[in-house]
Amino acid sequence: MDNNTGNRPRKRVTKKMLRQRQLGALAVIALLVLFFVILIFKGCSNSGDEKKGGKQEATTVTTTYVTTTAPETTVTTTTTHPLAAQVIISKREMFINVGGSDISYITGYPTGSAEANEVWKSMDESIATVDSLGHVTGVGQGETFVILSFDNNPGIEIEIKVHVASGVGGVQPPTVAPAESSTTDAILDFTTTTPVVAPVANGYSA
């Protein structure tokens, strides 16, 4: 029996086989490197998301809305009657001359009242009078009030202030501006209404 039958000859490694083994080892190393790169990339990505989320939380702005209420508007009337605020007239003050007239038109009546229920009264008829339709006439110089009320709504009294000037008619007399100074001196002759003007010599009056 041959003693060499138990010892098989070693397989000869060629250059081609060695190159294949080297390429296989390089492929395994490349896969391992790629795996580690992926793990590192995922770790960095998660860390960036956490930082980004934290930054967003830090810059969150809370807006608070404050509701304000507008102040209430109060209506001033001449009486405490609850329906007095429903009376709407064109004017609360008049300026007329002796003999002149004016009127304050009513555009709003209290509930239940109409034109037929109007009652007009002057507080001083020596200064101004008023008829049943609200026409005010100046009588004498001064100030007074004309009162509007309603016969079916007791307690409603609307005051209209009336100013009566000493002028005659419905137009106020014009205001005359004082005359400017002149280079001549006027000497008034009180026996007539015509002023006598004296000439000026050398800057002095005769």
Mean pLDDT of the chain: 74
Closest CA to 134 of 77, 92, 163: 92
Q: Is residue 100 part of a domain?
A: yes
Give the position of tokens 């960095």. Answer: 44
Distance CA 132, CA 26 (A): 121
pTM exceeds 0.75, yes or no: no
Q: Is residue 52 part of a domain?
A: yes
Cβ atoms within 10 A of the Cβ of 122, count?
Answer: 20
The predicted pLDDT at position 48 comes to 60
Distance CA 138, CA 108 (A): 26
Q: Is residue 198 part of a domain?
A: no
User: In this predicted structure, which of 47-51, 78-82, 88-92 has the lowest mean pLDDT?
Assistant: 47-51
For residues 106 and 153, membership in a common domain is answered with yes
Q: Which of 56, 72, 107 is the last residue of a domain?
A: 56
Q: Tell me what the mean pLDDT of segment 75-81 comes to.
A: 53
Q: Is residue 73 part of a domain?
A: no
Q: Is residue 48 part of a domain?
A: yes
Q: Is residue 7 part of a domain?
A: no
Distance CA 122, CA 96 (A): 15
For residues 94 and 148, membership in a common domain is answered with yes
Provide the CATH number for the domain around residue 119.
2.60.40.1080
Q: Give the residue, 60 or 133, on which the prediction is more confident.
A: 133
Q: Give the residue, 151 or 205, on which the prediction is more confident.
A: 151
3-state secondary structure of 112: coil
For residues 104 and 148, membership in a common domain is answered with yes
The predicted pLDDT at position 5 comes to 52
The predicted pLDDT at position 21 comes to 83
For residues 105 and 159, membership in a common domain is answered with yes
For residues 89 and 44, membership in a common domain is answered with no
For residues 42 and 112, membership in a common domain is answered with no
pLDDT tens digits for range 9-23: 566 667 777 788 888
The tally of domains found in the chain comes to 2
Q: Give the residue, 160 or 46, on which the prediction is more confident.
A: 160
The predicted pLDDT at position 127 comes to 96
Sign of CA dihedral 20, 21, 25, 26: negative
For residues 108 and 43, membership in a common domain is answered with no
For residues 91 and 161, membership in a common domain is answered with yes
The predicted pLDDT at position 62 comes to 56
Quick check: 3 pLDDT over 80? no
List the domain range (segments joined by +) for residue 47. Answer: 14-56
Q: Is residue 194 part of a domain?
A: no
Q: Give the residue, 22 or 72, on which the prediction is more confident.
A: 22
Q: Which of 36-45, 71-80, 87-96, 195-204 has the highest mean pLDDT?
A: 87-96
Q: Is residue 107 part of a domain?
A: yes
